[in-house]
Amino acid sequence: MKWIRQRVLSGELMAGTFLNLGSSLTAEMAGQAGFDWVLIDLEHGGGDRQELLLQAQALESSSAGTVVRIPWNDPVIVKRVLDLGVSGIMVPYVQSPEEARKAVAAMRYPPAGIRGVAAMNRACDFGPGFDEYFQAANSQLLTVVQIETGATLECVDEIAAVEGVDVLFIGPLDLSVSLGVPKQFDHPSVRAAFAKVVSACRKSGKVAGVILSKEEEMERAIADGFSFLSFSSDGALVALGMRRIAAAFKRHKQAN
C-alpha cells in the first residue's frame, strides 16, 4: 500500500493530475512522470470498475498515491473501490456535515465506521496482508470531499470540522456555475469562495485542494494556501497536444 495521508496532512505540497480516459497506459505514464498522487476519475471519466483495476495495477510500480473520485457518495461504491487497494477516495458534491460524516463512515472499519471487512481482496494482498492492512486502514486512508456549490460554502466550516475529513477539494467549474459566474475563476465571488475554503481548513487543521487548468495558476494557488494540487488531466493533455500538431499541419497546408 502507498499511504499518503500523513504527507498530505503535514501540509507538504502534493502535486497530482486527473486520469479521465480510463486508460492503463496514460495511468502508467502519469505514474512514471513523478506525480505525488494521481486521481482516477469515475465520476466524469471514461472508465468504470474494470478500467479502475487496470489503472491501479499500472500505477503499482510508481511512487504516486492512487486516489479515486467515485461517482457519488455511496458506501457500497466506497467499499468496492477501497478493496482494490487505493490510497484514498474523493467524494463529489458534499453539501453538508451529515454527508461528510457519511463519507468518513464508509471509509472506516467498525467500530469507527461501516466499511465491510474482507480479506480476499487486492488491498489485503489477497489474504496474507489482511492484518497489516486492517490495522492501518482507518488511520491511513485519505478522505477528500469536494466543495462544489454555493450551498456547501454556507456550512464549509462545519464540514471541515468533521473528524476524518482530510481535504476540502474545490471543483472550480461546478462552483463557478453554482455561483452564477460560469468559468469566471477570477470573479470576486469565486475568489472569495476559495478564501473561505482555505480559512475553514486552517481553523480545523485540514488541507485545501483544487484542480488547476493553467501552469501560471500554480504560484497563486500555493500563495492562497492550497497544498493538495492537481493540474489538468490525461485527456486534456492528449487533446491539447493533438490540436497543436493538427494546427501546425494546417498552417503548412495553407502556406502551400
- Coil, strand or helix: which one is 26? helix
Active site residue 252: no
Q: Of these residues, 44, 183, 220, 250, which one is catalytic?
A: 44
Fold annotation for 5-255:
TIM Barrel (3.20.20)
Q: Digits of tens for pLDDT over the chain (256 positions)?
A: 999 999 999 999 999 999 999 999 999 999 999 999 999 999 999 999 999 999 999 999 999 999 999 999 999 999 999 999 999 999 999 999 999 999 999 999 999 999 999 999 999 999 999 999 999 999 999 999 999 999 999 999 999 999 999 999 999 999 999 999 999 999 999 999 999 999 999 999 999 999 999 999 999 999 999 999 999 999 999 999 999 999 999 999 888 7
Q: Give first-to-last CA distance, the chain, whole Å.
A: 56
Please indicate, yes or no, whether the overall pTM of this predicted structure exceeds 0.85. yes
Domain boundaries, the chain: 5-255
Cell numbers 492512487 label which residue?
66
Return phi, psi of residue 155, to 5°.
Answer: -125, 25
User: Cα 169 to chain center, whole Å?
Assistant: 7
